[in-house]
A and B are shown apart, each in its own frame.
Chain A
Amino acid sequence: DTGVSQDPRHKITKRGQNVTFRCDPISEHNRLYWYRQTLGQGPEFLTYFQNEAQLEKSRLLSDRFSAERPKGSFSTLEIQRTEQGDSAMYLCASSMRGETQYFGPGTRLLVL
């Protein structure tokens, strides 16, 4: 499968715990995006990488959220001290030079 992959697909955690998600973009795609989707809503932009540089972060991304793309390939999104309001689907997308964005299957997070 040469599409965008995400791991894990599902995560259940207790409030206050830290979680980390991984995204592997399509090979050679230099742009990587993280979005968050809650039930009944469209995806909301969280952050954007061009190669290894994080160039934009949404105001939705509180200080408890951090994202990295250390070698310009895969990316990780970490949420510290999770809250129930963090429960959502976290989607990753990649593109080549700003063209079509291809989405991964998402990581569904449930914070108890």
Chain B
Amino acid sequence: GENVEQHPSTLSVQEGDSAVIKCTYSDSASNYFPWYKQELGKRPQLIIDIRSNVGEKKDQRIAVTLNKTAKHFSLHITETQPEDSAVYFCAASWAGGATNKLIFGTGTLLAVQP
């Protein structure tokens, strides 16, 4: 069945350093890959997404890259700040399918040390 693997499960960086989170998906029909940030006790919030017709997308300090051949996609956060500390989830779906349900990874707890 559909599966998304996410690594690492925890990541600790110093303020100002970069953070990279990687995901692998199993369903080759997947064509939409969002990333959500979830702070403790709060709702998942979309921070960036990418569609399969694009290899890279950037929004200020956040970027996402996609390798369709390898079925990998990654989140890159540069110049990390303490407020970036949260759990980050990657997800995959087949946008344009009947459902567009999201298949989530298991999450990465990012801790940015001041």
Contact A55 B106 (CB under 8 A): no
- Interface bits B82-114 vs A (CB < 8 Å: 1, else 0): 000000010100011111111111110000000
Known: A91-B44, A100-B49, A103-B45. A45 touches B106 (CB 8 A): no
Asked if B61 is an interface residue, CB under 8 A from chain A, the answer is no
Asked if A56 and B107 sit within 8 Å, CB to CB, the answer is no
**Known contacts A91-B44, A103-B43, A103-B44; A45 and B96 CB within 8 A of each other:** no
**Identity of the chain A residue whose Cβ is nearest the Cβ of B44 in the assembled complex:** A103
**Cross-interface CB contact of B43 among A45, A98, A100, A106, cutoff 8 Å:** A106
Contact of B106 among A40, A93, A106 (CB under 8 A): A40
A45 touches B95 (CB 8 A): no
Q: Count chain B residues whose beta carbon lies closer than 8 angstroms to a beta carbon of A.
A: 25
Judging by beta carbons under 8 Å apart, are A98 and B95 in contact? yes
A-B contact count (CB 8 A): 57
Give Cα A99–Cα B96 distance, bound, in whole angstroms: 9
**Chain A: minimal CB distance from B43 (Å):** 5
Please judge, given known A-B contacts A100-B46, A105-B43, A106-B43, whether A42 and B105 are in contact too, CB under 8 Å. Answer: yes
Q: Do A55 and B100 touch across chains, with their CB atoms under 8 A apart?
A: no
Q: Mark A70-112, 1 if CB is under 8 A from B, else 0.
A: 0000000000000000000001010100111111111000000
A91 to B99, CA, bound (A): 17
Asked if A44 CB lies within 8 Å of chain B CBs, one says yes
Kindly list chain B residues whose C-beta atoms are within 8 Å of the C-beta of A35: 102
The 3 A-B residue pairs with the shortest CB-CB distance, nearest first, are A42-B104, A98-B100, A45-B101
